[in-house]
């Protein structure tokens, strides 16, 4: 997914990442899991820096350099700025078009 666990937890809690509630078979408690479908939904809206780096072939350092100006387009969630997460809609508007999906 390209995010730290604390970021994922914050985004699930705020409703930006859909998570499926499934009973843990060992502990018998209901827990949130990110399914393949949930991950596809996330990837259609958000672009983590790691994913962006892999898609463009540019290092994350280069992408965050002042020359690219990506720092000002970081996703923020109610005052919490996610330093390595961007929304595709913002990137497409200000930075780059989306690449064709890889199969």
Mean pLDDT of 51-65: 86
Quote the CA–CA distance of 34 and 22 in Å, as a whole number: 10
Q: What is the mean pLDDT of residues 70-94?
A: 82
| Side-chain-side CA neighbours of residue 36 (13 Å) | 0
Task: Please state whether the predicted TM-score (pTM) of the whole model is above 0.85.
Answer: no
The model's confidence at residue 100, banded by pLDDT at 50, 70 and 90, is: low
Question: Of the ranges 18-22, 26-30, 64-68, which one carries the lowest mean pLDDT score?
Answer: 64-68
The β-bridge relationship of strands 85-87 and 46-48 is antiparallel
Between CA 34 and CA 17 the distance in angstroms is 8
Residue 95 has phi, psi (to 5 degrees) of: -125, -60
């Amino acid at each position: 997914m390209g995010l730290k666990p604390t970021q994922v937890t914050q985004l699930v809690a705020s409703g930006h990442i859909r998570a499926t509630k499934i009973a843990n078979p060992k502990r018998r408690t209901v827990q949130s899991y990110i399914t393949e479908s949930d991950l596809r939904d996330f990837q259609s809206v958000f672009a983590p820096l790691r994913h962006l780096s892999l898609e463009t072939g540019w290092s994350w350092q280069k992408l965050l350099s002042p020359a690219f100006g990506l720092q000002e387009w970081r996703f923020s969630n109610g005052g919490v700025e996610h330093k390595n997460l961007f929304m595709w809609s913002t990137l497409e508007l200000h930075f780059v078009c989306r690449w064709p999906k890889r199969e």
